């Protein structure tokens, strides 16, 4: 796991990110207090939305920064935290787009306010509207908040401009990926579309951008920053493909997520794109994307994904992207410790259990 391999280097920084975020939300809650209980609850929901994740992005920021700067700083912690705020905002808006009311096993922002609306006697559709509106606004607040944190970093003008450029680019790509994702839903996208979507939606803002931003703040050369972009793309694609495999074949007790849900919602992963062209898929496909999919139906879909060779193809692709990452890491002129931890990250990606 990425967290585990990087933790040794940046444990202090990771705690500092939590402290920064705690303090950030405490200040917002204080401000919200004069605007009524509901607004306070919106900020509580936003705060809780930012808690409990794997903190992959801040860890990458801190690791890349520390490798070049020799250690964490108040500014690297702020930059790392900005990425977590941005990520939290994207998750919130992603959930609205997917009409999901649950995240990490608990009601998300939309879920909380929908429940609140139902509790106040609203009809279900109005309560859901209230929930989704709340999540849209919470996400907006965190996007603006993340940008402000980056804008206020104490850094030379050129460094701050580069950081704003990196953040801008990853927002631009994440939106492109998400937009393509929505368009493809139910439209049986092919390999090329899915990989482009993954590069944009996950690899850029979750891997490349945090690594590059940390490196820029740490004073890395332009060549190293460019290399980290490439490494991040490979790692991000491998990570997402592994996530897709675990979403279908993983154990719920380990992943914290039912291995039925991706199949029930008809998530257009590469596994499905590969399986779909094989006759084995046709026999099992009826339950794909059906809310009524049961264990037997899911077993049939999983079997089709295996017997069609789709799972093996995806596993080979994960291996190839991890190998490409390892090669790019070896070829890059990076500080030794970062080289080592990124290589371990690539290796664990191939065998990640959750």
Cβ atoms of 339 and 71 closer than 8 Å:
no
In the complex, what is the shortest distance from the CB of residue 220 to a second copy, in angstroms, rounded to a whole number? 21
Site for a second copy in 158-177 (CB under 8 A): 160-161, 164, 167-168, 171-173, 175-176
The residue written with tokens 């590059």 in the block is 212
- What are the Cα distances from residue 231, in Å, to 7, 55, 222? 19, 19, 14
CB nearer to a second copy: give 186 or 291: 186
Q: Is 118 in the site for a second copy (CB under 8 A)?
A: no
Judged by CB under 8 A, the residue of 29, 53, 71, 126 near a second copy is: 126
Give the helix/strand (H/E) hosting 156.
Answer: none
CB nearer to a second copy: give 106 or 182: 182
In 3D space, the residue among 188, 165, 352 whose CA is nearest the CA of residue 268 turns out to be 188
Q: Is 16 in the site for a second copy (CB under 8 A)?
A: no
The angle formed by the CA atoms of residues 284, 286 and 289, to the nearest 5 degrees, is 110
75 contact partners, CB below 8 Å, separation of at least 6:
153, 154, 155, 217
In the complex, what is the shortest distance from the CB of residue 310 to a second copy, in angstroms, rounded to a whole number? 25
Q: Is 150 in the site for a second copy (CB under 8 A)?
A: yes
Q: Is 183 in the site for a second copy (CB under 8 A)?
A: yes
Q: Is 202 in the site for a second copy (CB under 8 A)?
A: no
Site string for a second copy, 221-250 (x = CB under 8 A): ------------------------------
Judged by CB under 8 A, the residue of 69, 82, 96, 110 near a second copy is: 96
Question: What are the two backbone dihedrals, phi and then psi, of residue 106, each rounded to the nearest 5 degrees?
Answer: -135, 160
Q: What is the DSSP string of 103-135?
A: ETTEE-HHHHHHHHHHHTT--HHHHHHHHHHHH
Give the helix/strand (H/E) hosting 73.
Answer: none
Cβ atoms of 77 and 17 closer than 8 Å:
yes
Site for a second copy in 19-48 (CB under 8 A): 28, 31-32, 35-36, 38-39, 42
CB nearer to a second copy: give 28 or 81: 28
Cβ atoms of 55 and 88 closer than 8 Å:
no
What span, in angstroms and rounded, lies between the C-alpha atoms of 108 and 103?
5
Cβ atoms of 66 and 10 closer than 8 Å:
yes
Q: Which stretch binds a second copy (CB under 8 A): 62-70, 76-84, 131-139, 340-348?
A: 131-139
CB nearer to a second copy: give 35 or 54: 35
In the complex, what is the shortest distance from the CB of residue 21 to a second copy, in angstroms, rounded to a whole number? 17
Site string for a second copy, 57-76 (x = CB under 8 A): --------------------
In 3D space, the residue among 179, 93, 101 whose CA is nearest the CA of residue 139 turns out to be 93
Judged by CB under 8 A, the residue of 1, 115, 180, 323 near a second copy is: 180
Q: What is the DSSP string of 203-270?
A: IIIIIIHHHHHHHHHTT--HHHHHHHHHHHHHHHHHHHHHHHHHHHHS-HHHHSS-TTHHHHTT---H
Q: How many residues bind a second copy (CB under 8 A)?
A: 52
In the complex, what is the shortest distance from the CB of residue 130 to a second copy, in angstroms, rounded to a whole number? 6
CB nearer to a second copy: give 183 or 303: 183
In the complex, what is the shortest distance from the CB of residue 340 to a second copy, in angstroms, rounded to a whole number? 34
- Contact residues for a second copy, defined by CB under 8 A: 28, 31-32, 35-36, 38-39, 42, 89, 93, 96-97, 99, 122, 126, 129-130, 132-134, 136-137, 139-141, 143-145, 147-148, 150-152, 160-161, 164, 167-168, 171-173, 175-176, 178-180, 182-183, 185-186, 196, 200
């Amino acid at each position: 796991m990425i967290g585990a391999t990087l933790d040794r280097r940046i444990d202090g920084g990771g705690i500092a990110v939590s402290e920064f975020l705690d303090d950030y939300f405490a200040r917002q809650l204080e401000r919200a207090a004069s605007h009524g209980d509901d607004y306070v609850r919106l900020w509580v929901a936003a705060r809780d939305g930012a808690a409990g994740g794997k903190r992959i992005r801040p860890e990458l920021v801190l690791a890349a920064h520390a490798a070049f700067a020799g250690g964490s700083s108040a500014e690297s912690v702020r930059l790392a935290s900005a990425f977590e705020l941005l990520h939290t905002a994207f998750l919130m808006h992603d959930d609205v787009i997917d009409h999901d009311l649950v995240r990490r096993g608990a009601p998300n922002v939309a879920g909380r306010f929908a429940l609140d609306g139902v509790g106040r006697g609203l009809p279900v559709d109005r309560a859901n509207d209230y929930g989704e509106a709340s999540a849209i606004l919470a996400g907006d607040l965190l996007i603006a908040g993340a940008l402000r944190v980056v804008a206020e970093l104490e850094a030379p003008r050129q460094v701050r401009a580069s950081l704003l450029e990196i953040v801008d680019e990853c927002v631009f790509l994440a939106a492109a990926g998400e937009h393509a994702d929505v368009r493809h839903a139910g439209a049986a996208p092919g390999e090329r579309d899915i990989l482009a979507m993954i590069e944009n939606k996950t690899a850029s803002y979750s891997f490349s951008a945090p690594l590059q931003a940390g490196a820029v703040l740490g004073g890395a050369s332009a060549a190293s920053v460019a290399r980290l972009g490439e490494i991040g793309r490979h790692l991000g694609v491998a990570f997402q493909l592994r996530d897709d495999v675990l979403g279908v074949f993983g154990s719920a007790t380990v992943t914290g997520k039912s291995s039925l849900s991706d199949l029930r919602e008809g998530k257009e992963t590469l596994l499905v794109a590969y399986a779909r062209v094989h006759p084995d898929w046709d026999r099992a496909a009826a339950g794909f994307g059906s809310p009524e999919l049961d264990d037997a139906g899911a077993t049939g879909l999983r079997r089709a994904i295996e017997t069609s060779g789709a799972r093996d193809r995806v596993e080979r692709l994960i291996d190839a992207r991890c190998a490409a990452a390892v090669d790019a890491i070896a070829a890059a002129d990076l500080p030794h410790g970062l080289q080592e931890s990124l290589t371990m990250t690539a290796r664990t990606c191939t065998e990640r259990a959750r």
